[in-house]
Each structure stands twice: as structure tokens, then as C-alpha cells.
Amino acid sequence: MKTPIIAPSLLSANFLEIGKDVDMINNSEADWLHLDVMDGRFVPNISFGFPVISAVTKVCKKVNDVHLMIEEPEKYAEAFAKAGANVLTVHIEACRHLHRNIQQIKTLGMKAGVALNPHTSVSQLENIIADIDLVLVMSVNPGFGGQHFIERTYEKIRQAKALIDASGSKALIEVDGGVTMDNCKAIVEAGADVLVAGNTVFSAGNPADMIRALKHGA
């Protein structure tokens, strides 16, 4: 089995001791830090914004992977670049002019990702797949942590992998939601490159050990 990129989700961290959790990630085998931004419009929840992201990215030594669950992401892309985002992912469902969104993100010096909600078909990426760096397959309905993995996601991962291979795209496949020790190996075997894990990491007795276990499928 290939070794996946592990991206712990800050949404599940202890916000009273967020600096300690970022230090843990810095000193762990995690590759990325996943930052979920919610606006209360695209999803029925609000998370955190620029002050938190700017503070975290100043001390985080990993790739800052920002996932925008927001309406009109084009209005804020430049601010997220200034806040330290390395990868910026927008939802296809929130973008009327997706190609323009992707161009904007890349012009700002970030890698560009596109996220798909559980009901959204992979085929909708056909005309953009060659231009993006990341496909984020939502394996739960976005907006809340701690949900159970949707089994249909395995087939969507395989479809995304086939589309990437057929197009010659270099895009990575990221899976977000319900990733646990029970399913991480199967998710990677289906074709995923990046595993987002929130509750699984931060509710563990030793989060760094859990990161290591997810990475090596042990």
C-alpha cells in the first residue's frame, strides 16, 4: 500500500490549547494541516476565519491545506493567500465560474483544489481535472465533524482516480470525513492520496501515535 499524506483537521483540536496542538502536528508524521472554513451559508455551521488561520500558519511547519465551505470564495481568495494558505480548495457547488476560480487561486500562488459533496458526480470535473492540483471527495455531508463515512465514497474515489489517469492530470485525491483506523487502508487502496482526520486524531490518547498509525495503515 502506498503511504498516504495525513492531514489532521484543526476543527477537532482543543481551541483553548491550539498552539500545543499545532506543535504536536509539527513534531508528528503529519504532512499537511487541514483548515476547514465554514460561513454558515454554504454549510449550517461557522468555524474560524483569517485571524486564526494567520496565527496558525505562522507557526505551522506543514502544508496549510485550506478547505473553503463558503459561498462566493472568489471574494476571499486573496485574503486566504495572505493568511498563509498553501492549498486552497473550493466547492464545485459554490462556484458558478469554476475555471475562473481555479485561475485566480493559481495566480495567487496557491495550489488549487475542488471539493465534491456526497451527492455531486465525479463526472462534473471532466472539463477542469487537468487544471487542478487536488480533488477533495467529501465522505460525509459538510458542516460538522464526527460523522460516519459514507460507503458510496469508495466508488467515487475510484471514479476520480480513473478520470485523473485518463486525462493525464497530476491531481491528488483527498478524502475528508469519517476517516478511521477501520477504513483508512481501504480508502487508500481505492485511490486516495490524502486522508483528512479530525476526531480520529484529536480524540486519541496519543494523537501523534494515531497520525503514525493512519499513515502506515497499522
Return the domain boundaries, the chain: 5-216
CB contact at 8 A, 92 and 116: yes
User: Tens of pLDDT along 152-193?
Assistant: 999 999 999 999 999 999 999 999 999 999 999 999 999 999
Q: How high is the pLDDT of residue 187?
A: 97
Fill in the DSSP letter of residue 97: S
User: Tens of pLDDT along 9-44?
Assistant: 999 999 999 999 999 999 999 999 999 999 999 999
The structure's pTM equals: 0.96
Residue 125, pLDDT above cutoff 60: yes
Report which secondary-structure segment, H or E, holds 32.
Answer: strand 32-38
How many other β-carbons are positioned within 10 Å of the β-carbon of residue 208? Answer: 16
**Binding residue ranges for substrate:** 9, 67, 143-146, 176-178
**Binding residue ranges:** 9, 34, 36, 67, 143-146, 176-178
Catalytic residue at 176? yes
Q: How high is the pLDDT of residue 218?
A: 55
User: Tens of pLDDT along 204-218?
Assistant: 999 999 999 999 985
**Binding residue ranges for a divalent metal cation:** 34, 36, 67, 176
C-alpha cell at 68: 473553503
Rounded distance between C-alpha atoms, residue 69 and residue 39, angstroms = 7
Rounded distance between C-alpha atoms, residue 76 and residue 170, angstroms = 26
Q: Which of 32, 98, 109, 28 is nearest to 67 (CA)?
A: 32
Catalytic residue at 165? no
CA angle 53–56–60, rounded 5-degree value: 130
Region 5-216: CATH code: 3.20.20.70
User: Tens of pLDDT along 73-120?
Assistant: 999 999 999 999 999 999 999 999 999 999 999 999 999 999 999 999
**Candidate list 39, 65, 133, 176, residue with the active-site label:** 176
Q: Which of 181, 191, 186 is nearest to 213 (CA)?
A: 181
**Candidate list 21, 36, 39, 65, residue with the active-site label:** 36
